[in-house]
Amino acid sequence: MGSSIFVQQLINGISLGGVYAVMAVGFGIVFNVLKFSNFSHGGVVAITAYAGYYLSRNLISDFWLALAATTLIGGLAGLLVERLVFRPIRIAGKPLTYFFVNSITVAMIVQQFFSAMWGAHYFSYPDFFERTAFNISGLIVSRTYLLMLVISAVVLIALTLFLRATKLGIAIRAASSDIYTPPLMGVNTDVVTGITFLIAGMLAGITGFFLGMTYTVTPFIGSMMIKGIIAAIIGGMGSLAGGVIAGILLGVVEALLIAEVGSSVTPIIIYLGIVLLLLVRPRGIAGKPYTVKA
């Protein structure tokens, strides 16, 4: 690998890693509060990938507006999923397995829905910009990748500030350490979990839009979610910052490996690496030891 290709792949990797990081945080924030692996996140990603495609092809030609609208749709989809699927079982006090199974079911329903409706078609997003790449002293940087990087960074910083400083953010963090006590402090847990899913959905919206732009939109685009889940796990469940670090790391390793050994061998190496990493450090990069897992 020449040094210019290396730097280029590094930049692409960081950008893609940014999207993985956004996925990991969307997945992780729900895990932190309700302590279950929310596979329905992939379903919301798929919904927004299609919605973003439809909007940008038919209604909104501006990149920023289309992204904002898709983010909003993602947020609403997240709210709806929480309301219809998770809230009833949470209020009934069902065990975590129910949440886990329901989340997979939601992802499957979404996937099958898109398969049945438009399974035979592959959709690709329009080119939002006339210039699709920049040439920075010999390095070709894709505009999409650069935007992905910048937007992911801004979103993650904004979310961090929100969680750290606002009272809603404090309520979400409090619910993450113990969901049974906040109501006694006057916190409405229904609102807090609703907001958590709203935020996760918005993050899924951003992810869906970027994945749609980077790849073609197929019913299986939601399964890209596995990268976000992996990032969340190797980052350490319970630590959003760990998920971000792991997401970027995953993106970089992936991009570099693809350039070196090709795209078919890369996943094998990565998955093997993850198995080994978790053997050595089961709690992930920054995670706390967890006893609850579902």
Is 177 a binder of other proteins (CB under 8 A)?
A: yes
Does residue 98 contact residue 89 with C-beta atoms inside 8 Å?
yes
| Contact pick of 90, 143, 173, 283 for other proteins (by CB under 8 A) | 173
Is 279 a binder of other proteins (CB under 8 A)?
A: no
For the bound state, the minimum distance from the C-beta of residue 227 to other proteins, rounded and expressed in Å, comes to 26
- The SS3 assignment for 95 reads coil
For the bound state, the minimum distance from the C-beta of residue 34 to other proteins, rounded and expressed in Å, comes to 15
Size of the site for other proteins (CB under 8 A): 24
Is 42 a binder of other proteins (CB under 8 A)?
A: no
Burial of 50 (0-12, 13-18, 19+ CB in 10 A): buried
Closer to other proteins at the Cβ: 9 or 176? 176
Interface positions, 130-169, toward other proteins (CB under 8 A): 162, 165-168
First vs last C-alpha separation in the chain: 41
Does residue 226 contact residue 23 with C-beta atoms inside 8 Å?
no
Region near other proteins per CB under 8 A, out of 107-115, 179-187, 241-249, 274-282: 179-187
For the bound state, the minimum distance from the C-beta of residue 173 to other proteins, rounded and expressed in Å, comes to 6
Closer to other proteins at the Cβ: 93 or 262? 93
Q: What single letter denotes the amino acid at residue 189? A: T
* Cβ atoms within 10 Å, residue 52: 28
Q: Which residue has tokens 């619910």? A: 175
Question: Which of left, alpha, beta for 238 (phi over 0: left; psi -120 to 50: alpha)?
Answer: left
Give the DSSP H/E element, type plus range, for residue 134.
Answer: strand 133-136
Closer to other proteins at the Cβ: 4 or 188? 188
Is 241 a binder of other proteins (CB under 8 A)?
A: no
- The SS3 assignment for 63 reads helix
| Contact pick of 5, 140, 191, 272 for other proteins (by CB under 8 A) | 191
Is 181 a binder of other proteins (CB under 8 A)?
A: yes
With both helix axes pointing from N to C terminus, report the angle between 225-235 and 3-34 in degrees, rounded to the nearest 10: 80
Give the DSSP H/E element, type plus range, for residue 141.
Answer: strand 139-142
Is 189 a binder of other proteins (CB under 8 A)?
A: yes
For the bound state, the minimum distance from the C-beta of residue 180 to other proteins, rounded and expressed in Å, comes to 8
Footprint of other proteins (CB under 8 A): 162, 165-168, 170-171, 173-174, 176-178, 181-189, 191-192, 195
